Structure 1
């Protein structure tokens, strides 16, 4: 674990009112919020953008936004799936930070790709299908999915490690691009990942992003208007009016 990692881990703590892991407000005061949220559709991100989403380690994009990714980027899905199968067939240990452990150097042993990121360059066949040239970033934040999804605290641990790994990989891509003029992502975009089927509060995830320092444009669905429609008042006829109608019949 590097000195930078130690500084980031030190930014975490617990509160008496919430037993879940949170970031200490005092530690975040000097950090600039790198999360920019706006209503919209993630898949409308500009060409060259990297779309980030949370993934399981079983090679399955079966429901929720993962299914939408699979439908729009089938070639990227096959790369993700093969990546998972390699580690399922040949397990490799990955050491990540246990953010709830009060030990000075807390750690957890997990199996890759959990706690890592996979950056998939734009695939030509996906571009032909969807007319969008997007990078796809898989954050491996839960080992399983569905009813066997990891606990909220474990997902937070894995997300923190995956974001750190993504940050390191992006730095490497940037350096390679400056030396070889290779293509690199033109901005990071995501939905509120880990909040849907993984069921982790967005506040916990957004604080992880800010701590790592990744500038991410986060799209969320347009919210319906809070204004309530005025009820239609149907006035019942008065007795005098009803008597007049009876006399006319």
Structure 2
């Protein structure tokens, strides 16, 4: 990664421990994690279960405070959640009593954006994620992939500088997951944001990422990283894709 690129997020020596309920011992989840994420980079944090990758993402989101270390965004320490960061969860986290349009516009509503403007913005991102015609539908009427499209549209509509995505496609079937990966990459190409994307799937990481950071099992720490130079759109059967998948799978115990 070029040294002259603007650093958007800087994690400096992040460690995190939790008290184990009913026990005196501490659970060490993260161990001295240092990481820089560049402006408009699509960074993938890849690791097995219990590698602390979601905890790291939550620290960046301001939902969890590190035990040690600091996190800077635009060279300023974070003090909690903020509108500069949008979050997309593995669970759909939609309001079941609100329509697609209302869910996507929710963040704008909270910020007091005028009705006409927030409806225009919400419809723009609904169109971008391919949900035209479903504006008046409720989450119960949508498939899993469609619900996650709503979540992505809602995150983009709030206009954050940074998108944090915690295994957003993990609950989807394989065919829908591949389709969503393709859509997400296309959306990111059209409307660049700095993205931190957590996954335990090697193929997903290579397909989506500009750079893949691999974390080890507890206590979580950065083991290796790979710059992804495969041209887009990427094909899972491309020789370079298969070579890189083999390298990463040999490097750690992950899901192919």
* Same fold, judged at TM 0.5 (above): no
Of Structure 1 and Structure 2, the greater strand share is in 2
TM-score, normalised by the number of residues in structure 1: 0.28
The structure whose residues are more often helix, as a share, is 1
TM-score scaled by length of structure 2: 0.28
Larger radius of gyration: 1
